Chains A and B, each alone.
Chain A
Amino acid sequence: MSGKDSAVERASAMPAATWHFLRMNDTTIEIPQGLEVAPDLQLSGAADKRVQTDEFDNMMAVAQARWELVNPAPTAQEIAEREAYRAAEADATYGGTARSNYQAAADEMEEARSLAVAFKQGMGEQASAFLRESAGERVLVKAERKQKVDAQVVVRGAAGVVNTAAIDVVAGRGSEVELHVLVDSPDGAPAGDASVGVAGTTIRVIAADDARVRIVRTQTLDDGLIDMDDMGLLAGVRAQIDVKQTVLGGSKTFTGLAADLRGDQASLEVQTHYLGHGTQAHDFNYVVRHHGTRSQCKLDANGVLAGTSRKTLRGTIDLIRGCKGSQGRESETVLLVDEGVRNKTVPVILCNEDDVAGDHGATIGHIREEQLFYLASRGFSQESAESMFVAAALEQAAIEAPDELTQAAVLRVGERVVPGFAALFDEEA
């Protein structure tokens, strides 16, 4: 890549847009000019690098066939009735329901009856394409029926380069997959706020019936680097997908996750932990579509914002007609440590089914006066209290790191943010 800066427009877009003036519907990712595309991955466990792989598409075709078995196409009469109803609605002068662009697109997607068409990536097609093309070869993590596999992918970000990984996770029926992804820049990047490199992953996951997939992604990039975390998930009957995302480093980070809970009793749990410090900007977009009956999702984001950092989070739970008995919940806790931080959150629950539950809860705010007094009564000044919140977020990330490599990366970024942090994990220090 060379020449002018390029941009990924309308990335991580909300499916149902809100007021334009809020500037929250999507984001633009500026890709700096002059970067060299240089894939540099470290793979271990079941992670397998392939020039071409159609495993994901094959599994999608199997999932499509299985889904069609229990979800027969509507009859000609049913289609005619639906169209007649829509025409009447559109013609109604008063009291008629105007379909939004989102509704029209959503209806079209449902009527296509194609799992592949409905399968989306959280950051949107343009961002996914950029990440895929930069990655070149795909990494495949595959578990055969009832097989249990572990894999780790390390993406090394660096100044002057675009380094991305395109990962397909194909989990057969009743299988278990654990994937750890670390996006790190162990060699460091030049200090400063200018974005001088891009690292990222685009991950596609298909979990067949009764499969369990757990993805732990940790990002510990240095200042000046952009992180792009793009995921698309499809869960079959009783399939369970857990995703844990920890976002600590980088100057600008973009996280997009889209999930299709297609099977009955499919479930998704996403835990997001982030720390905003300095001038960091974090952008998160979650879209979960419930198709299966009694499917469940839980989106839980916890973060600390310090310095003049910014964060935007869009969380959409779409309870689609037919997903009876499903439950979707999104919750968020954000601690605003400094006055200069900016936090934006848009929780959206879309509902086209009666027998469902969707809810949202958020705790967002500065350190309360009674908390400040409590901390002061324990010897903390305002500055040391703020520093403790930042250190605690890093410490939690280090404690919960899934492996030693990840913990070392967290300690490295921790040391940069809070000098002396790494010593906390040194028994002899």
Chain B
Amino acid sequence: MSNTILTCQKLCAAVGDKPILHDIDLSIGQGEVHVLLGPNGAGKSTLGHVLMGDPTYDMTGGSIEFDGQDITELPPNKRSLAGMFLSFQAPVEIPGVPLRSFLRAMVEAHGVQMKNKQFKQRVQELAQQLDMDPAYLDRELGVGFSGGEKKKVEMLQLLLLQPKLAILDETDSGLDVDALSVVSRGMELYRRDCGGTLLIITHNTRILERLAVDCAHVMVSGRLVDTGDAALIDLIDAQGFERYETQLEQA
């Protein structure tokens, strides 16, 4: 067993009075690839956002430990600086901020020392690897970008920061085959370049074809109801989530 990078114990979260996550226990080893599956509305994205510290949600119970540090009370920017990354399902637009300026400020916020020339070369190189038109670098972040381009920008940030843990929240949703392949390539590069840890939230098992998955989790109605190895993914593919939903209803 590798060193544990993330541990959640009895994690509960709510929006206002409405509980969403119930007693989530999750442990992810350094360098592992975990997949979180579940039907729509199960709370998968909520878990990703709560791990990152999204103030939209109230963490009503439990604890989160990341890289040996209790981050339960840590604000999201400190979690990012500690090495956690969340790729958004719907990345926001930031008008008035060119992508290149944003990337540079992000790198600086992380205390990475890079000469301008080096930064430009690195960003250019990553854009090329992700089949991204370099013209996008001078455009305002996300403004007028297609869904595919937005996801490529998320991948570019992932590769630039090389965090210890990347939570990919349905990064594959709404993408065509080509864009899907680019996202897969991004994940492979992340794994290859820094041996990073992945928690992939997805509906689409196609994105997992080129990855060696260590562990799969199933979430239904805000609860983790099953955990297994990669074989669980095939099982879900064949049988869906119905049996879990039935079990929960009967419990």
Contact = CB atoms under 8 A, between A and B. Distances in A.
A304 interface: yes
A18 to B, nearest CB: 28
A371 B97 CA distance: 12
A-side interface size class:
35 or more
A392 interface: yes
Contacts of B117: 427-428
A53 interface: no
> Mostly helix, strand, loop or mixed at chain A's interface?
helix
B98 interface: yes
Given A333-B96, A388-B97, A388-B101, A379 B88 contact: no
Interface residues of B, number: 34
B201 to A, nearest CB: 15
B116 A426 contact: yes
A326 B106 CA distance: 45
Nearest to A337: B96
Q: Quick one: which of B53, B101, B138 has the most chain A CB within 10 A?
A: B101
A376 B80 contact: yes
B191 interface: no
Interface string B170-188: 0000000000000000000
Contacts of A393: 96
B96 A302 contact: yes
Given A374-B92, A392-B102, A379 B55 contact: no
A69 B77 CA distance: 68
B211 interface: no
A54 interface: no
A56 interface: no
Contacts of B81: 379
Interface string A176-214: 000000000000000000000000000000000000000
B80 A369 contact: no
Contacts of A374: 88, 91-92, 94
A333 B104 CA distance: 23
A392 B116 contact: no
A335 B95 contact: yes
B200 to A, nearest CB: 17
A375 B108 CA distance: 13
A302 B106 CA distance: 23
Contacts of A368: 92
Contacts of A101: none
A426 B95 CA distance: 25
B85 interface: yes
A391 B102 CA distance: 10
B226 interface: no
Interface string B91-124: 1101111100110111001100001110000000
B54 A373 contact: yes
Interface in A145-201: none
Contacts of B219: none
A85 interface: no
B61 interface: no
A363 B52 CA distance: 29
A424 interface: yes
A423 B117 CA distance: 11
A374 B89 CA distance: 11
Given A369-B55, A395-B101, A429-B115, A377 B80 contact: yes
A335 B77 CA distance: 21
Nearest to B55: A373
Given A304-B96, A376-B53, A427 B80 contact: no
11 contacts: A369-B56, A373-B54, A376-B77, A377-B53, A377-B76, A377-B86, A378-B77, A378-B109, A379-B110, A380-B77, A381-B77
Closest 5 A-B residue pairs measured CB to CB?
A376-B76, A379-B109, A379-B80, A392-B97, A388-B105
